[in-house]
Structure 1
Amino acid sequence: MNAVRCTTLGPPESLVVEAVPTPEPGPGEVRLKVAAAGVNFPDTLIIQGLYQERPALPFTPGGEAAGVIDAVGEGVEHVAVGDRMLAFTGRGAFAESLVAPAAVVAPVPEALPLDLAAGFLLAYGTAHHALRQRAQIRDGETLLVLGAAGGVGLAAVELGARMGARVVAAASTDEKLALCRERGAAETINYAEEDLRDGLGRVLGKDKPDVVFDPVGGALSEAAFRSLAWGGWHLVVGFAAGDIPSFPLNLPLVKGAALVGVFWGAFVQREPAVHRANMTELMGWVEAGDVRPHVSERFPLERTGEALRWMMDRKAMGKVIVEMPGE
């Protein structure tokens, strides 16, 4: 099979596509014939050695994929050859075949094509966990989403609206904000043209966000936190801006507000039953037509480096996916 290989740590342009042996599933594992793989910000970090996990070289990057099971290992009984599945593995997804523990794969509803499913699990799983468990968002609350047109940001816009929040989407272009409005944002702020706090005053008046969903970091984080309502929640999801912010700890004190970390991968491992319940709710919304991933760009396997560069340059709106040959 063909797979993208990271043979030396560096930029996406250093990745190569090589023929490698097709993996065989071991006990408790399944093998997917991959239809497509989702591209996520952590993929751009792991190939540079900047992620919290540093796999031994060489390795195949790619954290999520969707496909059809074509082999099962010993002891696997709840899924079978021919089942449509998506998988979150952390790495290994940019390949024509992927072996994953049977416990971490989830069925893909017939209402969701496999190419769209490839961009579903990490973005929607993270946003759902952040809003449902970490912020405990309630109907009628105001949710500010930074980086709102990115994969996880757009999922937060869509899910926040589905959960009954008034969503304020903040992004860097009018084109991105138009997409956010299509996905449920009630108000929008172009923070490339308008100060974030000024924009919040314009669209909310004297009201303030109850929850901030922050996958961006950098200078926007402090501005967003200073804008929180009393008792608000600031969800720390990631640092797409490249800078990990720091700001005075008296701010949480005087606002009675909380900084809350969101680490979805660890949550899946530590609380699998809650994760399964989340996925059941999400897939129910998919089947009802309430939720549907937006794929803005598609790249073939041999151009995976370009897909990652697209992500790093913050050109993505919604999801970017890598498609396998023949799909």
Structure 2
Amino acid sequence: MNVIKVSGFGPAEVLQKVKVSPIIPRENEVIIKNSVAGAGYVDIMMRRGVYPHINPEAFIPGIEIAGVIKTVGKSIDSKYVGMRVYAIIPQGGYAEEILSTIENLIFLPEWISDEESIALGVNSLVAYFSLALIKYKEIKKLLVRGANGGVGSMVLQLAVSYGIDTTAVINKQYLKPAISEIGIDKFYTDGDLSNNYDAIIDPVAGEKMDNFVDLLANDGDYILNGASGGFPNECFGMSWLTRFTKSPRLYFESLSSKDINSIREAMNEIFLLSKESRIKPIIAKRFNLDEIIKAHNFLESGGFFGKVLIII
């Protein structure tokens, strides 16, 4: 079986395609014949060694996959063989076959292809749960950082479907036409302090995060759901205290805190929104396993719109 492993933590060049022994399911597990895996910034963080609890000697990147159940363990009904599924896994997605329990799987409806499920996938779930913190409030104005990335682009689409007045922060101006096509007509200009926002959703973080906190209105909400730009300054907590009189609220949103039932319920709602054409899966580029170094270099370039897929 072909998989992508790392020779050690470091740049994209540590990624290597290797052959490993075939996997065998335990009695309560299934084998999924993987057709596509998602590639995201979390894979880069893991590959660099800045993500907790990763052992480079056993590390196979990839946290979301889609494919077909090939084999079932002794205690699993054979009716599941041949069913199409989506799964979020701790690691191991850059592989031809995946082990999983039935309980961890999300069964795909007929109107969603394997590639579309990944293009929605983790990014749409992070966006969904981030907006769940604020969508029932009287949010008049929302700012989205990293709006051309996988998570940011899904936040934009969901916000538009909820009727929220949304402004996008992008790092490449040539992406404006593509983002405008999903219903966004407001773009943030660097250094503009003339607008205040009821909420800011930020999958970027980084050293510039503090600049955006100043854009919050009184009683504003700041949702940090990623760190594609690196970690914020070590003293960023103190900067929040200096804004005490504005009563800002800081939230952290991670899928790791969600149970599978919550994830399944959210994913099924996202699939329905896609069926109704209220949101759409956006694929930035496809790579195969032999192009995995190119895929990670492309991810780190940041100049794309949508999701990067690894075709198995």
Shorter-chain TM-score tier: over 0.9
Q: Which residue of structure 2 lines up, in the alignment, with residue 218 of structure 1?
A: 206
Q: Which residue of structure 2 lines up, in the alignment, with residue 87 of structure 1?
A: 87
Shift of 1:122: 0.8
Residues 139 and 198, structure 2, Cα contact 8 Å, conserved in 1: no
Counterpart CA distance in 2 for 1:148 and 1:15 is 28
Shift of 1:81: 1.1
Residues 39 and 119, structure 1, Cα contact 8 Å, conserved in 2: no
Structure 1 segment 89-168 matched on structure 2, within 5 A: 89-132=89-132, 134-138=133-137, 141-168=140-167
Q: Which residue of structure 1 lines up, in the alignment, with residue 308 of structure 2?
A: 320
Instruction: Supply the RMSD in Å over aligned alpha carbons.
Output: 2.0
Q: Which residue of structure 2 lines up, in the alignment, with residue 12 of structure 1?
A: 12
Q: Which moved more, 1:44-53 or 1:71-80?
A: 71-80
Match of 1:197 among 183, 187, 192: 192
AA of the residue aligned to 2:117: A
Q: Which residue of structure 2 lines up, in the alignment, with residue 257 of structure 1?
A: 248
Q: Which moved more, 1:209-218 or 1:175-184?
A: 175-184
- Is 1:310 the counterpart of 2:298? The answer is yes
Q: Which residue of structure 1 lines up, in the alignment, with residue 173 of structure 2?
A: 174
Q: Which residue of structure 1 lines up, in the alignment, with residue 231 of structure 2?
A: 243
Q: Which residue of structure 2 lines up, in the alignment, with residue 30 of structure 1?
A: 30
Q: 1:41 to 1:7 in 2, by over 3 A?
A: same
Q: Which runs of 5+ in 2 are unaligned?
A: none
Shift of 1:75: 3.5
Residues 127 and 156, structure 1, Cα contact 8 Å, conserved in 2: yes
Q: Which residue of structure 1 lines up, in the alignment, with residue 289 of structure 2?
A: 301
Q: Which moved more, 1:242-251 or 1:274-283?
A: 242-251
AA of the residue aligned to 2:178: L
Counterpart CA distance in 2 for 1:34 and 1:196 is 45
Structure 1 segment 53-72 matched on structure 2, within 5 A: 53-72=53-72
Q: Which residue of structure 2 lines up, in the alignment, with residue 283 of structure 1?
A: 271
Partner SS state of residue 216, structure 1: coil
Shift of 1:126: 0.6
Which deviations, in whole Å up to 9, do the C-alpha atoms of 1:91-143 show, x marking residues without a partner? Answer: 111111111222222122222221222232210011101111x3345465321
Partner SS state of residue 243, structure 1: coil
Q: Percent identity?
A: 24
Q: TM-score, normalised by structure 1?
A: 0.88
Q: Which residue of structure 1 lines up, in the alignment, with residue 215 of structure 2?
A: 227
Counterpart CA distance in 1 for 2:143 and 2:79 is 39
Match of 2:257 among 242, 246, 266: 266
AA of the residue aligned to 1:307: A
Which deviations, in whole Å up to 9, do the C-alpha atoms of 1:285-309 show, x marking residues without a partner? Answer: 1222222211111111111121111
Shift of 1:250: 2.3
Shift of 1:33: 0.9
Residues 61 and 92, structure 1, Cα contact 8 Å, conserved in 2: yes
Q: 1:7 to 1:291 in 2, by over 3 A?
A: same
Partner SS state of residue 192, structure 2: helix
Q: 1:78 to 1:152 in 2, by over 3 A?
A: farther
Q: 1:259 to 1:64 in 2, by over 3 A?
A: same
The count of aligned residue pairs is 309
Shift of 1:72: 1.9
Partner SS state of residue 259, structure 1: strand
Residues 6 and 56, structure 2, Cα contact 8 Å, conserved in 1: no
Shift of 1:217: 1.0
Residues 285 and 309, structure 2, Cα contact 8 Å, conserved in 1: yes
Residues 65 and 87, structure 1, Cα contact 8 Å, conserved in 2: yes
Shift of 1:147: 0.5
